[in-house]
Amino acid sequence: MKHILEAPNMNHLWARLLIEELNRNGICGYCISPGSRSTPLALAVSEQKDVVHHVHVDERGTGFYALGWAKAVGKPVALICTSGTAVANYYPAVVEAFLARIPLIILTADRPPELLQCGANQAIEQVNIFGAYVRWSFTLPCPDSAISPAVVLTTGGQAVYRACRAPSGPVHINCMFREPLEPIVIEGDVPKDYMKPVDIWLANKKPFTQWNLPETRLTTEQEIFVLGKMETVREGLLVIGELRKEQEIKSAYNLAKALHWPVFADVTSGLRLSRKTEFSVPYYDQMLLLPEFYERFNPRFVLHIGGTITSKRLLEFLERKRPEYMLVADHPLRTDPIHRVSHRFETDITSFCAWLAPAMSRRDIYPWGLETVEWSNCLENIVEEWTSEQNVLNEITVARYISMWKPENTDLFLGNSMPIRDADMYGSNSGSDGLVLANRGASGIDGTIATSAGISFARKRIVTSVIGDLSAIHDLNSLSLLTTKGVKVILIVINNDGGGIFSFLPISAYPETFERYFGVPHGYHFEAGAKMFGIHYAITDAPEEFKKIYSEAINKEGSTLIEVPTNRPENLQLHKQLQERLKNELLKCIRKS
């Protein structure tokens, strides 16, 4: 602890205390945005030789990089920035982290009180700036020898605990500093016995306060209730939402095999594009296009494991059918947009599935709903046949090809709007293992490149990231993050020259305003951007060439941007065309059964 005791002044002593305590409480690392007022914090991190940290000039990109990093490992990452609008640029990532339950520690440097509301440069109101979108916030006053160093330490410990405790999410520590900000020695600034209250802390490597996260397990009474329900259910449906941990995916897979119920797995569950069971129904979303399917498929009970689901049609189906609905998640939040959940359990998902699966495998099997598996297999053949007929790449075939070609031990990130929906609707169910991640908290299009980079760094894996052109333009600065050491992203940008998803909405029927205000064509391509940031680049609309380019990108050193030009009006028609074929095929299957 020599570096702490030798701090040149109070500013740097408090900064070193705070960073040290965050480290002791399990921070994964730091993402730093350059600035003057945050000098003590940045230098305190730089002095920690064994602490991982990154520096990036764009606060918005930095925020999403940290979010991807924390999402991938499930542990907190800290952000550091200077005062003023730098803080506000973290806001989109903070909102996403809050809604998606991602632990972030936001450390913002601030002007002292005498420089607020008086026209001082780069001074804004930063206290509670993130409003309701943090789990906890606190403002540390300007470092002062009248305040015990223990206050700084307990603030750091509380921040990590509140970020990790369910529901996890971002916390904000606003740090006021007076000048000098540099490590200038100020004689007498730190009293001789100032550190005495924390002398035990100085003598070891443990946190000042040992925070213990609570474990959530079902009580005996709850277990009896769940078993009683599950053992008497005949017409059951297993819905699997977002899962972010391999162990959760494995345990949910084992439960799916034991239940003998149709399985509707979301694309972010890790069970939609791989880990197929004999009960998987990967094309449930497209089956719900057909009224006859609505009439034939009537689950009386739904067990929903994990996070939210992408398919709006499935939500509408459950809202209309109104089955008894049990939701199991590892947090207390009301993730029930259709307000149909009748039984809600907060518990560890891995433990829940591992406990329930053996009990379900021992019960009498009632073979209900298995025709849905056969129907889904028929639709699989249609999608595969339709895909093989396409001589030019389109948004559906890109989603399907990537789901089939992505190598083992790599992960997939899906951008919002159409990429995640196309993968959910048309991705193959025979792909490789790996996490499938997306920013579905607020479902924005911002920060997708930065998030992909953060995931790649954290997981030490190649990440294939499929995003739209507007998302890429929105996060263009973050292309520089793809050249960071330890990051390899195959960034596939589907360029339909605007907002493709709007073509699927009723507003597209108003051509006099649609293109200007919703389609927003831009005319840009991404070769120059890739060149500017030193990233490999290729462009193609041919399936075989796409496969070759993708394979080469996987084996190359560094990241690659692959641009796929598509046509928005044509994309709409292709979706309609395929969906008509799927509905016709499904109708034949239903009539035969």
Q: Which of 152, 238, 236 is nearest to 197 (CA)?
A: 152
Distance of alpha carbon 367 from its chain centroid, rounded? 36
Which pLDDT value is given to residue 507? 81
436: helix, coil or strand? strand
Which pLDDT value is given to residue 334? 95
Which pLDDT value is given to residue 104? 98
304: helix, coil or strand? strand
The pTM of the full predicted model, rounded to 2 decimals, is: 0.96
Which pLDDT value is given to residue 499? 84
Q: Which of 53, 50, 11, 12 is nearest to 33 (CA)?
A: 53
- Residues with Cβ within 8 Å of residue 437, at least 6 apart in sequence: 68, 71, 72, 244, 268, 411, 412, 413, 414, 451, 455
Which pLDDT value is given to residue 330? 96
Average confidence (pLDDT) per 10 residues, the chain, 593 residues? 88 98 97 97 94 96 98 97 98 98 98 94 95 98 97 98 98 98 96 95 96 93 94 93 97 95 97 93 97 94 97 96 97 96 97 95 83 96 97 97 97 96 96 95 96 98 97 97 97 92 81 82 95 97 98 97 95 96 96 87
Cα separation, 472 vs 530, in Å, equals 11
468: helix, coil or strand? strand
Phi, psi angles (nearest 5°) of residue 77: -120, 145
Which pLDDT value is given to residue 519? 81
- Can you tell me which residue has the tokens 């029927």? 509
Q: Which of 429, 407, 4 is nearest to 195 (CA)?
A: 4
Which ranges of 312-348 does DSSP label H, i.e. alpha helix? 312-321
Other beta carbons within 10 Å of 58: 18
